[in-house]
Structure 1
Amino acid sequence: MNRTIATLLGVLLATLPIAGAAAADLKVGYVNTQRLFRDAPAAVKAAKKIEQEFSKRDQDLQRLAKQVQGLQESLEKGGLTMSESERRAKEKDLAELSREFQRKQREFREDLNLRQNEENAAIIEKANKAIKQLADSEKYDLIVQDVVWVSPRLDITDKVIKALSEGRDAAK
């Protein structure tokens, strides 16, 4: 048993210098995707485009929410002084308006998420092309994203953002 452990330890120690030499030749880069989506010109442009596209619907939703709130406050304030039929009619109106608001809000969120996902997919596609070109031109062996921690010297996000903003190859 001790002989087996000693043999394995010897083999491991003998291969460490070889593994170290191979790792020394490895060129690694890191891309911060969060920053890419926040700072890349295409991402900023897409966010503004989506905001413009959905601003009218958002304003309509806010108006509808105020109507629901106003009707609810009206019921709370004057509900005791209203006749039974008037109060029931207002409660029915409030329930219908509230359902309409919830439906429109749900549709708005779904449509907004769909558009954001479409734009994000286009940004990812462009970024992946820029990263691939950067990897080829600067001879990277490995480029990773979404890690727990990375040394700032491995971060190539600025190069990718620059390549995306210039709309050309990521090569320097």
Structure 2
Amino acid sequence: MRRNLKWTFLFIAAIMMIDVPACLAERVGYINLQRLVNESKMGQSAREDIQKLRKAKEEALARKLQDINAKKDTLNKDWETLSPRDRRNRRSELKRDVEEYQRLVNEAKEDILREDREVVAIILQKADGVLKKVARRKKFTIILKDPNAIGYLDDKVDITDDVLKELNKKK
């Protein structure tokens, strides 16, 4: 019994001597995905493409709006000389044109948002391998991507610049 007590005491003493924080030391890093998308060469190139798409859509919408305004002006100018039937027809036509314009505006917004999401997904997919490589090289065991989950961030654990450098080397 005394012998078991002695071994138990030694076992407990040995456990107490172990540096628990050293055993649990995990290196946690952070990457700013927004910066990665905005500052990478791929991201900048994609932003230019999206701007071109946006400009083309805006020009097409501006032409459509010009046509609608011209029809509206013509209708207002000719209003007194038109028969009630022609007034109704032109007003209905103008209403259809306005509805079509609103539909085109919504489609353009959706197209641009969809394109933006696809570009971000592609960039993040390509960056994932680079992120893992940098994290292994710097001996991080966990990398956080969510800025809302962080209360404080030391610059030493932010690996965004390293990932950007590696990613920009690729292309």
Describe the shift of the 1:152–1:79 C-alpha distance in structure 2 as closer, same or farther (beyond 3 A): farther
Stretch moving more, 92-101 or 64-73: 64-73
The Cα shift of 1:86 comes to 4.1
The Cα shift of 1:69 comes to 4.1
The Cα shift of 1:136 comes to 1.6
CA contact (8 A) 1:79 1:87 kept: no
Aligned to 2:168: 165
Query: In 2, distance between residues paired with 1:128 and 1:120?
Result: 12
Query: In 2, distance between residues paired with 1:119 and 1:62?
Result: 26
DSSP 3-state at the match of 1:29 = strand
DSSP 3-state at the match of 1:26 = coil
Aligned to 1:154: 157
Stretch moving more, 92-101 or 78-87: 78-87
Q: Which has the larger radius of gyration?
A: 2
Query: In 1, distance between residues paired with 2:20 and 2:87?
Result: 81
Stretch moving more, 86-95 or 123-132: 86-95
Q: Mind listing any 5+ residue stretches in structure 2 that lack a counterpart?
A: 1-14
Aligned to 1:35: 35
Question: Percent of pairs identical after alignment?
Answer: 26
- Superposed CA offset, 1:54-96 (max 9, x none): 5323310122123334544665x55864543443233112111
Describe the shift of the 1:156–1:79 C-alpha distance in structure 2 as closer, same or farther (beyond 3 A): farther
Query: In 2, distance between residues paired with 1:91 and 1:62?
Result: 21
The alignment's C-alpha RMSD in Å is 2.8
DSSP 3-state at the match of 1:143 = strand
DSSP 3-state at the match of 1:125 = helix
Relative contact order (alpha carbons < 8 A, sep ≥ 6): 1 or 2 greater? 2
Describe the shift of the 1:82–1:140 C-alpha distance in structure 2 as closer, same or farther (beyond 3 A): farther
Aligned to 2:89: 89
- Superposed CA offset, 1:31-76 (max 9, x none): 011111211111111111232245323310122123334544665x
Equivalent residue letter for 2:101: F
Query: In 1, distance between residues paired with 2:154 and 2:161?
Result: 14
Q: Any residues of structure 2 matched to 1:1-172 within 5 Å, and which?
A: 18-23=19-24, 25-72=25-72, 78=77, 81=80, 83=82, 84-148=84-148, 149=151, 150-167=153-170
Q: Mind listing any 5+ residue stretches in structure 1 that lack a counterpart?
A: 1-13
Describe the shift of the 1:70–1:155 C-alpha distance in structure 2 as closer, same or farther (beyond 3 A): farther
Equivalent residue letter for 2:135: A
